[in-house]
Structure 1
Amino acid sequence: MKEKINAFLSSGLLEKYLIGETNFGETTLVETNIAKYPEVQNAYNTLQYNLEVVAKSNAVEAPKHVLNNILDELDDAPVISLKKSKKYKSWYKYSIAASIATLIFAGTSYLFYTQNQKLAQENQIVVEEIFDLRDDIESNNKKLDDVMYQFQQLNNPETYKYIMQGNSRAKDLKTVAYINPIEKTSLIDVVSLPQLPEEQCYQIWADLQGKMVSLGILSESDRQLRAIPYTENALALNITIEPKGGNTTASLENTVAAINLQ
């Protein structure tokens, strides 16, 4: 039974099910195994949590809606109402009516010409916005690829999760590091960082046999799952308070969080 469960977990069906890529038969198989085996349920819950971590750090705003702009412009178009001309018995009255009709026709023609010019400009705007949307789609596809890569890294069995919480100097500080020594990758998720004075910043370091190697600056305004340099044989991770812009040497007396990696 255990071999059957392990084979199912290694098949990748859970991941496909989570992102909606399973067919009817695969969906039925996954849901049956989730309901039947607690090990599968736990693995599914873990995948859901990891996907939420990746998704919340890669929020994307939806593109502007083109159709509303066109409808707003069309709503502003004037409406022309034509009144029926009364019949006159005298010939000169018909001449006056004909002249008025000519003027109305000329005015209507000019109005249509103006509207055509306006629509031509709007069509050009639509074309330009379509090209912008294509650029947005390409950008979003790249972001989606990044999200899937991060999702795979989080679910890799060789990836270790380290939670770093602040000491008394930064009680609300919390970050999560994901390190894979096999693929030599490191990711960090900034969950919360207490606000610092403008002239200070948080900096993360790797302890490499007593030598502190900078892995970058952490910012509350940059709360997303992101890659940090992987350091071979690092013994620990430290977060310190440094002058704005970062420091070349770690101020260990200003350490606010630390965790052992060995």
Structure 2
Amino acid sequence: MEEKLHTFLQSGLLEKYLVGDTSITESVEVEHYIDSYPEVNAAYEKLQNNLEIVAKVNAVEAPYGSLDKILKATEEETKVVALKKPNKTPWYSIAASVAAFAFGFYSFTLYQENKELHSENDVVVDELFDLRSDIEKNNSQLNDLALQLQKLNNPDAQKYVFKGNERAKDLKTVAYINPVEKTSMIDVVTLPKLPEEQYYQIWAEFQDKMINLGILDETERRLRPIPYMEDALALSITIENRNGNVPGMDNEVAEILLKNK
């Protein structure tokens, strides 16, 4: 408390109040301190006395008879009003001002908290939407996986394993073909890494032609469908160049013969 009073006394508000240079808010604050703290009241009385002393020291004696002339002139034109000491603001006005300030501060605090809650609520809602989207996506993937497993477990599905030759010893890929439902799926297990200008391609072989069934990517190791080819004699995997050379059997690295129904 002593530190608070010291800070107030050093702020210069008492001096400004004494000469009428304070705002309404500052006046309320000063009068509150004067009424509440004897130290401030004593300092205020001392300042008043000092002001009177300074005024007397700097006063210039008026010529003889000046006062009578001034009074006579003012009586003819205006009324002389005696100066009074400013009335202090009643305690209830101070209390009302403090209450209003407290209410304003409390309202502002509530507004800030409400704003933060709205912001947090928006974040939670966005996260819930993202979570719901992820759940729906995962459910869709699980459904696809369940369908794929159902196809693999179908008694009519036939399993074929590709094994690489000398050019791709570590190659291993599995094909699942269902001649009854006319579906084909392939599962890339391992594909040896190739130079950037080369890639793996899978083909359906017929008596007189080869049909491209798509590219196999070593980074895409998952079960995926491929076109079903009726009456195909075999499936083969080749290494192709991106320069557009015509595919040939010399490029073949794995082959499976299909069972005839």
- What residue identity is the alignment partner of 1:233? D
Matched length: 174
How far apart are the structure 1 equivalents of 2:137 and 2:226? Answer: 22
Percent identity, aligned pairs only, is 56
Show the 5 A alignment for 1:1-262: 91-93=35-37, 106-244=104-242, 249-262=246-259
* Matched residue SS, 1:149: helix
Pairwise CA distance, 1:101: 8.0
* TM-score normalised by the chain length of structure 2: 0.58
Pairwise CA distance, 1:105: 5.9
Pairwise CA distance, 1:99: 7.5
Q: Deviation string for 1:64-114 (max 9, x for gaps)?
A: xxxxxxxxxxxxxxxxxxxxxxxxxx9525999998887666445433321
Pairwise CA distance, 1:196: 0.8
- What residue identity is the alignment partner of 1:121? S
Query: Residues 105, 258 of structure 1: CA spacing in aligned structure 2 closer, same or farther, 3 A cutoff?
Result: same
How far apart are the structure 1 equivalents of 2:153 and 2:239? Answer: 32
How far apart are the structure 1 equivalents of 2:247 and 2:171? Answer: 18
Q: Which runs of 5+ in 1 are unaligned?
A: 1-89
Pairwise CA distance, 1:136: 2.5
Aligned to 1:46: none
Pairwise CA distance, 1:172: 1.1
How far apart are the structure 2 equivalents of 1:129 and 1:111? Answer: 27
Between 1 and 2, higher relative CO (CA 8 Å, sep ≥ 6) is seen in 1
Pairwise CA distance, 1:238: 0.7
| Root mean square deviation, CA, Å | 2.9
Over alpha carbons, which structure has the higher Rg? Answer: 2
Pairwise CA distance, 1:140: 2.1
- What residue identity is the alignment partner of 1:261? L
- What residue identity is the alignment partner of 1:174? K
Pairwise CA distance, 1:240: 0.5
Q: Deviation string for 1:31-71 (max 9, x for gaps)?
A: xxxxxxxxxxxxxxxxxxxxxxxxxxxxxxxxxxxxxxxxx
Pairwise CA distance, 1:146: 0.9
Pairwise CA distance, 1:143: 1.4
Q: Deviation string for 1:121-156 (max 9, x for gaps)?
A: 221232233233333333222212211110111100
